[in-house]
A = this chain, B = another copy of it.
């Protein structure tokens, strides 16, 4: 029970850090949907100032890139946490602070039309030094808008 509380606590800490303490995430209105390490999600609502194409009113490619990047970082961190389960909370947060994107590829598959978007992360490779992740962005009609692949340093 105490263990469960701790986990819940950590999850809440991560969610608040993510949405409130990372300024650009806050600017965009990014928030965590799920912290399931197998497929965590990040959500964002359409807003007028997130538009790229003012004729078609679609999401700017830079918003898509931002959402996919943070989703990749999130799934990398969650899987590292599972591997490092024996670490203290302080050590875990220290590892979180070391997380960094090495590189990112984004494929823009369809115009970013929609009111609400969900980005889902999947782990492809998890190691002590580097994690590789895959991300997918869907709109509220479950249309696949974009996919991404990222490499992250985790130590």
Write the residues of chain A forming the contact surface with B, with a CB cutoff of 8 angstroms. Answer: 21-28, 48-55, 60-63, 65-67, 69-70, 97, 100-110, 124-125, 129-130, 132, 134, 144, 147, 149, 151, 153, 155
Contacts A65-B104, A130-B130 given; indicate if A55 touches B24 (C-beta within 8 A).
no
Q: In the bound complex, what is the Cα–Cα distance between A151 and B66 (angstroms)?
A: 18
CB-nearest residue of chain B relative to A57?
Answer: B23
Interface centre among A55, A70, A101 (most CB of B within 10 A): A101
Q: Inside 8 A of A109's CB, which chain B residues have their CB?
A: 124-125, 132
Given contacts A105-B104, A106-B104, A151-B151, contact A49 B62 (CB under 8 A): no
Contacts of A50 in B (CB 8 A): 23-24, 27
Tell me the smallest distance from the CB of A66 to a CB of chain B, in Å.
2
Assuming the contacts A27-B49, A52-B22, asked whether A69 and B65 have C-beta atoms less than 8 A apart, the reply is yes
